Amino acid sequence: MKYRTAIAVGLVAAATIRFAHAADPRYPDWPCAQAKVPEISLAAVWAGPPLDDVSGKWREDATVGSLVAKLAARRTALEEAQKAITEHLNAATDKTRSGKLLFAGLFDVLNGQRSQVLNGLERITRKQREAADKIRSDTIALQALQSEAPPDQTKIGDLGNQLVWETRIFEDRSRVIKFVCEVPTAIDQRLFALGRTIQQEIE
């Protein structure tokens, strides 16, 4: 009886696992409902003075580099990050340049974090596709074992348990994907909010 349950789970999973066609054929492994935007557009998050003269130079300032790491970390509350920006810029001798350095660093770091998330989502999607294929093939194999006369209950039990385990992993990954799909948008929103704070301080 317990194996019937395992078999049913495997069959249902195999029947219902589907990968929808990608909305954008350029990104066939993109799993999220949100459209994939490979990189944050500077113009979308920054309306302050041009950053050309500080590009890459934020790494040369240890204080700025340390602050950028703190501000970019999602464990740092947004209000705390905004307060740290205000304190840093109020203490700066050249508020505009300091603000530009700070935002240039945030833009580089958060764009990098975002790219890592996007790549990770596509990697896990490929794993899910492979897992779905394995569940389907194991379900077919289980059906074949069930059809044998007499059926080998040991093999049926082992494969039934394997299917339950495979299905559980697949479902866990699906939940992770749904959660992680929200991360790129959260990064975009954080960068915009911090950029706005910097702009307000240097205006």
pLDDT of residue 77: 96
pLDDT of residue 124: 93
pLDDT tens-digit profile of 10-61? 544 544 444 545 567 888 999 998 889 998 889 999 999 999 989 889 999 9
pLDDT of residue 103: 96
Q: What does pLDDT average to over the chain? A: 88
Core vs surface per residue 79-98: b (16+ CB within 10 A) or e: eebbebbeebbeebeebeeb
DSSP state at residue 151: -
**Mean pLDDT within 149-156:** 90
**Mean pLDDT within 137-142:** 91
- Contact status, residue 181 vs residue 33, Cβ threshold 8 Å: yes
Among 181, 191, 50, residue whose Cα is nearest residue 108: 191
**Which sign does the torsion angle of CA 144, 147, 148, 154 carry?**
positive
Core vs surface per residue 7-19: b (16+ CB within 10 A) or e: bebbbebbeebee
Please state, in angstroms and rounded to a whole number, the distance separating the CA atoms of residues 161 and 157: 6
pLDDT of residue 1: 40
Query: Structure tokens of 118?
Result: 């996007």
